[in-house]
Amino acid sequence: MATSSQVVRPPAKGGRISLQRKEMLAGLAFISPWFIGFLLFTAGPMIVSLGLSLTQYDVLRPPKFIGLQNYTDLVNDSKIWLSLGNTFFYALLHVPLSIMVALGLAMLLHRVGKAAGFFRTVFYLPSITPAVAIGTLWLWLLNPRVGLVNRGLELLGIPGPGWTTDPAWIKPGIVLMSLWSVGGTVIIYLAALRNVPTELYEAAEIDGATGWKSFRHITIPMISGTIFFTLIVNVIGSLQIFTEVYTMFFGTMRGMTAAASAGLFYNIYLFRNAFEFFKMGYASAMAWVLFIIILILTLIQLRFSKRWVYTEES
Amino acid sequence: MSALSGESKQVVVSTVGASGHPANHLARRVNKTLQKAIFIALLIGFTILFIIPFLWLVSASLKVRADVFNNAWIPNPIAWENYVNVWKAAPVLDWLKNSVLVGVAAAISVTISCALIAFGFSYFRFPGRDRLFGLVLATMMLPGVVTMIPVYLVWQKIGLTNSHWPLWAGNLFGSAFYIFLLRQFYLTLPRELFEAARVDGAGYFQMWREIAIPLTRTALIVVFIFEFKASWTDLVKPLIYLQNTAMFTLPRGLKALLDQFGQGGEMQWEIVLAASVIVTLPMLIIFFLGQRYFIEGIATTGLKG
């Protein structure tokens, strides 16, 4: 007889069923905060946002239904294409570079034994630095004239580019800044590398597979699940880059015209539309376009993952 | 020479491995040590690259205005007064207080709500549970900008914009990432533990509070620290919701200072840089105190994802 709580229940054949029922109700009670929050802060707002994207709305006057006009306006808005181009440019540089740098650092850490702890801490420090402080700091590190980056390049005999002034170099500068924050990914990769059974390497070495071969045929497949996870997270994250760049080049600041277009990322343009120009309907349409883009890219990655991500079953 | 296995197993391999020739063996060991020295040297190089921006920031924040960008490592003279001037230029103490309050409220509320929700998703069996959990995970993919505007409009309707509520109260309803993280920890708890308590007459809430919570303390601290960090570093919400300078959090305040004294403004960079140090330092201290929780949290979520 299952007596699951202080409550005395009628003894009957229903004892087991009622326990299941009880468990179900209790489970639902435990997850109810999430469910309420989901309706209030996710599902509800999604519907409202979709509705708003069909209106013209400046907060002061009630929304005016304009059908799909925001979406047709989007297509004809050169700044949308500019910001989309900027964002993809950034993502295409940032994602592979940050994964490679993080994997490289993690592999170095993996091979120095106990000393890894210290270095791992150092690499993680930028990741806990507030993004506003990162933006402020890198605005100066990247300064073409006095910045540390170009001073360093000078020592190597390389003339440094105009990281914050030359439209062609603004995004590479931002990518450089983003690489400073790979520490979180390094920790994830290091943990994954430590999880690879050492017997695999030993067996491979007896078979004559070392160096690049064992990296290619053991390390990569064994941590491919983790790489895939960081890839998805990184792609989604990089398409939404905002704070550091907004700090550096936007706000009430004046006079940084080159950056205002070369550094205009999608979410920055969206934010400005919503909260600086009060085009809430237009911004909502922008949000949905981004959502669809992220959805499609994630689905593509999931589909292709079957070709290269190793799972226990395969 | 294996380029990939760790040192300890390397020794084993080299004794049992392909050739047992002693000279070969010695060469391997020397090679191994040499290799490790090179790796350490490389890591030290990278360490310097990662640390230099911090050193530059601290050093520049202690320089007089004319020297801020002279790139000398030791400020001469040392301008301690910059830190006094920040306090005079802006209500930094208010910002600090606001950041702490919002951060603690955000972290406590998300920790408790996610612990409840994650327990609901791990211990109990009910139809549709896994599908609902899939929905939890799916919300992680939803870009924040989709819900940003309607949520703002709701807070505006209630009349709570320009208050701290919108910065943390949403956390009372959990957060997908932490629900996922805590569920991973709950799933490792043996079910018998709970069954035994139930036979002894414990209710579900009691089981959660007296068994699940104490056994997953580490994970709860991880969630608390992560959310505190997220709240501490966030600029977007304060940018949207706070208009009154005295209500600002530190990042919002730093952005205001940058706009006022920085690029295109009054060019008092030493003030902005001192403020940057003030925003960053508390987080660094918390990190050094709770380091293992950070590392554990990241490694766990990354691996099990």
Q: Over the stretch B255-294, which tens digit does the pLDDT of each residue have?
A: 999 988 876 667 788 999 999 999 999 999 998 888 888 8
Q: Which of B1, B2, B4 to mutate to test the interface with A (most CBs of A within 10 A)?
A: B4
Closest Cα in chain B to A203: B13
Question: DSSP secondary-structure letter at B266?
Answer: T
Q: What is the pLDDT of residue A246?
A: 93
pLDDT of B204 strictly over 60? yes
pLDDT of B174 strictly over 90? yes
Q: What is the pLDDT of residue B18?
A: 46
Do residue A210 and residue B203 have CB atoms under 8 angstroms apart? no
> How far B264 CA sits from the closest chain A CA (Å)?
5
Q: What is the pLDDT of residue A115?
A: 84
**In chain A, what residues touch B169 (CB-CB under 8 Å)?**
none
Surface-to-core class of residue A82, CB atoms within 10 Å of its CB (0-12 exposed, 13-18 middle, 19+ buried) = middle
Do residue B262 and residue A136 have CB atoms under 8 angstroms apart? yes
At A56 the three-state DSSP class reads strand
Tokens representing B109 are 């509320």
Q: Which of B146, B254, B281 to mutate to test the interface with A (most CBs of A within 10 A)?
A: B146
Is the N-terminal amide bond of B22 cis, ω within 30° of 0? no
Tokens representing A285 are 């349409």
**In chain B, what residues touch A31 (CB-CB under 8 Å)?**
116-117, 120-121, 132
Q: What is the mean pLDDT of chain A?
A: 89
**CA A54 – CA B300 distance, rounded (Å):** 42
Q: What are the pLDDT digits (tens) for A7-48?
A: 444 444 445 568 788 889 999 999 999 999 999 999 999 999
Do residue B132 and residue A3 have CB atoms under 8 angstroms apart? no
Q: Kindly state the average pLDDT of the residues B246-254.
A: 96
pLDDT of B304 strictly over 60? no
pLDDT of B227 strictly over 80? yes
Q: Which of A44, A133, A252 sits opposite B280 (nearest CB)?
A: A133
**What pTM does this model have?**
0.88
The pLDDT confidence band at residue A314, using thresholds 50, 70 and 90, is very low
> How far A10 CA sits from the closest chain B CA (Å)?
16
Do residue A214 and residue B2 have CB atoms under 8 angstroms apart? yes
Q: What is the pLDDT of residue B11?
A: 39
Closest Cα in chain A to B72: A148
Surface-to-core class of residue B96, CB atoms within 10 Å of its CB (0-12 exposed, 13-18 middle, 19+ buried) = middle
Closest Cα in chain A to B206: A5
pLDDT of A178 strictly over 50? yes
At B51 the three-state DSSP class reads helix
Q: Kindly state the average pLDDT of the residues B166-192.
A: 93
Q: Name the CA dihedral angle for A186, A192, A193, A197, rounded to a multiple of 10 degrees.
A: 170
Q: What are the pLDDT digits (tens) for A263-279?
A: 999 999 999 999 999 99
Do residue B13 and residue A205 have CB atoms under 8 angstroms apart? yes
**CA A175 – CA A87 distance, rounded (Å):** 11
Do residue A109 and residue B17 have CB atoms under 8 angstroms apart? no
Closest Cα in chain A to B61: A137
Closest CA to B229 of B183, B271, B279: B279
Contacts of residue A264, defined as CB under 8 A and 6 or more positions apart, other chains included, come to A79, A82, A83, A86
Q: Which of A23, A30, A238 to mutate to test the interface with B (most CBs of B within 10 A)?
A: A30
> How far A134 CA sits from the closest chain B CA (Å)?
8
Which of A54-63, B64-73, B240-249 has the lowest average pLDDT?
Answer: B64-73
Q: What are the pLDDT digits (tens) for B42-87?
A: 999 999 999 999 999 999 999 998 888 888 889 988 999 999 999 9
Q: What are the pLDDT digits (tens) for A108-148?
A: 999 888 888 899 999 999 999 999 999 999 999 999 988 99
Answer yes or no: are the C-beta atoms of A129 and B231 closer than 8 Å. Answer: no
> How far B186 CA sits from the closest chain A CA (Å)?
14
Which of A6-10, B30-34, B219-223, B300-304 has the lowest average pLDDT?
Answer: A6-10
Higher pLDDT, residue A11 or A224: A224
Do residue A111 and residue B7 have CB atoms under 8 angstroms apart? yes
Answer yes or no: are the C-beta atoms of A125 and B294 closer than 8 Å. Answer: no
Higher pLDDT, residue A178 or A251: A178
Closest Cα in chain B to A30: B120
Q: Which of A9, A20, A31 to mutate to test the interface with B (most CBs of B within 10 A)?
A: A31
Contacts of residue A132, defined as CB under 8 A and 6 or more positions apart, other chains included, come to A243, A244, A247, B233, B235, B251, B254, B255, B258, B276, B279
Identity (one letter) of the amino acid at A307? Answer: R
Do residue B53 and residue A298 have CB atoms under 8 angstroms apart? no
Identity (one letter) of the amino acid at B112? Answer: I
The pLDDT confidence band at residue B252, using thresholds 50, 70 and 90, is very high
Q: What is the mean pLDDT of chain B?
A: 87
Do residue B258 and residue A198 have CB atoms under 8 angstroms apart? no
> How far A235 CA sits from the closest chain B CA (Å)?
11
Answer yes or no: are the C-beta atoms of A262 and A167 closer than 8 Å. Answer: yes
Count the neighbouring beta carbons within 10 Å of the beta carbon of residue B230: 16
Q: What is the pLDDT of residue B102?
A: 98
> How far A31 CA sits from the closest chain B CA (Å)?
4
**CA A120 – CA A186 distance, rounded (Å):** 8
Q: What are the backbone dihedrals phi and psi of residue A65, each rounded to the nearest 5 degrees, phi first?
A: -70, 125
Q: Per DSSP, what are the bridge partners of residue B234?
A: none
Q: Kindly state the average pLDDT of the residues A232-248.
A: 94
Q: What is the pLDDT of residue A256?
A: 57
Do residue B36 and residue A111 have CB atoms under 8 angstroms apart? yes
**CA A249 – CA A274 distance, rounded (Å):** 18
Q: Which of B47, B144, B303 sits opposite A192 (nearest CB)?
A: B303
> How far B97 CA sits from the closest chain A CA (Å)?
16
Q: What is the pLDDT of residue A157?
A: 93
Q: What is the pLDDT of residue B303?
A: 52
Q: Report the complex ipTM.
A: 0.88
Q: Kindly state the average pLDDT of the residues A246-254.
A: 79
DSSP string for A182-197: -HHHHHHHHHHHHTS-
pLDDT of B110 strictly over 70? yes
**In chain A, what residues touch B149 (CB-CB under 8 Å)?**
45, 49, 52, 274, 280, 283-284, 287
Q: What is the pLDDT of residue B9?
A: 39
Answer yes or no: are the C-beta atoms of B182 and A4 closer than 8 Å. Answer: no
Q: What are the backbone dihedrals phi and psi of residue A242, each rounded to the nearest 5 degrees, phi first?
A: -145, -70
Q: Kindly state the average pLDDT of the residues B89-110.
A: 96
Q: Which of A128, A140, A242 sits opposite B287 (nearest CB)?
A: A128
Q: What is the pLDDT of residue B80?
A: 92
Closest Cα in chain B to A43: B147
**CA B141 – CA A298 distance, rounded (Å):** 9
**In chain B, what residues touch A53 (CB-CB under 8 Å)?**
none
Q: What sections of B140-175 are H helices per DSSP?
A: 144-158, 165-168
**CA B305 – CA B297 distance, rounded (Å):** 12
> How far A211 CA sits from the closest chain B CA (Å)?
5
Answer yes or no: are the C-beta atoms of B182 and B114 closer than 8 Å. Answer: yes
Higher pLDDT, residue A166 or A212: A166
Surface-to-core class of residue A196, CB atoms within 10 Å of its CB (0-12 exposed, 13-18 middle, 19+ buried) = middle
pLDDT above 70: percentage of residues in chain A: 91
Q: What is the pLDDT of residue A216?
A: 86
Do residue B208 and residue A108 have CB atoms under 8 angstroms apart? no
